[in-house]
């Protein structure tokens, strides 16, 4: 075979092989159009639509590092640290019955000592609510109305005084009249009882631009303890507020609403107390907070702090507190990044 014939034969072979490979070629499917995450502004900032649904999800929370100091009179001081990661997950969507909400918060804690905190994981909040703007129903674990309806504390301070209540399972109904008046009633699981002895709670409040006035009552069916709270708050300016609280809990028994005259260092049970607090913005980055509480045991506790926000999302809070019942001086230095 001459050179010309060899070249023609080789070219024919290459064409034949190429044709066979083309017949067996894999066809690549066109990619699906990319679905970008959409912003959901129906419920405020931070929400986005879960892809493929009309449900809006918000992921938030905080990360905290805190140093704690306590020095009871006549005893050695204790110094320990706390690191906490507390993510929150909130999902909302509209239904024919109103806004359906689910909310959860988990606390991941590490502590170098056992003075105030421990190392572990806890489910702080896990509830479902349905709200049509006037009426709302809530079921799950969260702070009870007696605990939160008048505000947790008067400061706000890290050492918040004694006021009773709990974070536990509950079934709650809230009515909002739309003119500042609201009413709440709840059946609450007793964390001290393994049987079914639910506590009952109720409260009313009235809120306007000038401030608020509110009251709440509760009954612990497990130990047959009655408790009540009332308070009033004033917004003197957008940066300055003051509140005054009165509280009562039957001290013949120890229950979930009992008052302790040294809530951080373990004092004595009290029957009634008054609690006053103030919050004043000194600058756009520094806020002064403080509270003072007097109890019928003739003991008192107080705290004052400065909350400094050097940059958006970060707050540094040094605080000092005192409990007369145990003659204890308490100090905190908290670094918290909210997101």
pLDDT for the residue 22:
46
Alpha helices in the chain, H assignment, sequence order: 3-23, 145-148
Which one, of 217, 204, 266, 219, lies nearest residue 246 by Cα? 217
Which one, of 87, 142, 141, 137, lies nearest residue 109 by Cα? 87
Position 156 confidence tier, pLDDT thresholds 50, 70, 90: confident
Q: What is the pLDDT of residues 251-275, one digit of tens each?
A: 888 889 999 888 888 888 999 999 9
pLDDT for the residue 286:
98
| Mean pLDDT of all residues belonging to the chain | 89
Say what the pTM is: 0.84
Strands 39-40 and 47-49: antiparallel
Question: Among 58-67, 100-109, 146-155, 176-185, which is the least confidently predicted range?
Answer: 146-155
Position 206 confidence tier, pLDDT thresholds 50, 70, 90: very high
Tell me what the mean pLDDT of segment 35-40 comes to.
Answer: 86
Position 29 confidence tier, pLDDT thresholds 50, 70, 90: low
CA 59 to chain centre: 13
Q: Which domains does the chain have, with CATH numbers?
A: 36-338 (2.40.160.10)
Tell me what the mean pLDDT of segment 49-58 comes to.
Answer: 96
204, 215 Cβ separation under 8 angstroms: yes
pLDDT at residue 182 is higher than 80: yes
Q: What is the pLDDT of residues 74-92, one digit of tens each?
A: 778 889 999 999 999 999 9
């Amino acid at each position: 075979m001459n050179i010309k014939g060899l070249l023609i034969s080789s070219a024919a072979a290459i064409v034949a092989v190429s044709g066979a490979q083309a017949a067996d070629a894999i066809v690549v499917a066109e990619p699906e159009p990319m679905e970008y995450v959409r912003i959901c502004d129906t419920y405020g900032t931070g929400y986005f639509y879960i892809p493929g649904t009309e449900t809006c999800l918000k992921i938030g929370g905080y990360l905290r590092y805190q140093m704690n100091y306590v020095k009871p009179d006549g005893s050695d001081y204790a110094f320990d640290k706390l690191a906490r990661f507390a993510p929150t997950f909130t999902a909302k969507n509209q239904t024919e019955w109103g806004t359906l909400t689910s909310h959860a918060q988990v606390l991941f804690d590490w502590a170098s000592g056992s003075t105030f905190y421990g190392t572990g994981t806890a489910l702080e909040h896990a509830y479902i609510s349905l709200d049509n703007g006037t009426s709302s129903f809530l079921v799950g674990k969260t702070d009870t109305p007696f605990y939160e309806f008048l505000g947790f504390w008067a400061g706000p301070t890290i050492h918040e005084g004694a006021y009773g209540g709990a974070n536990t399972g509950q079934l709650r109904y809230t009515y909002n009249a739309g003119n500042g008046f609201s009413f709440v009633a709840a059946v609450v699981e007793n964390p001290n009882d393994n049987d079914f002895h639910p506590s009952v709670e109720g409260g009313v409040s009235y809120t306007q631009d000038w401030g608020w006035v509110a009251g709440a009552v509760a009954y612990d069916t497990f130990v047959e303890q009655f408790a009540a709270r009332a308070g009033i708050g004033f917004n003197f300016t957008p940066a300055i507020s003051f509140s005054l609280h009165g509280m009562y809990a039957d001290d013949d028994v120890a229950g979930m609403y009992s008052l302790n005259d040294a809530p951080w260092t373990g004092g004595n049970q009290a029957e009634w107390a008054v609690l006053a607090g103030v919050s004043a913005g000194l600058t756009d980055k520094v806020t002064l907070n403080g509270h003072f509480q007097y109890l019928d045991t003739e003991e008192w506790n107080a705290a004052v702090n400065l909350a400094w926000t050097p940059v958006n999302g970060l707050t540094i809070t040094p605080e000092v507190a005192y409990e007369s019942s145990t003659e204890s001086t308490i100090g905190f230095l908290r670094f918290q990044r909210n997101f």
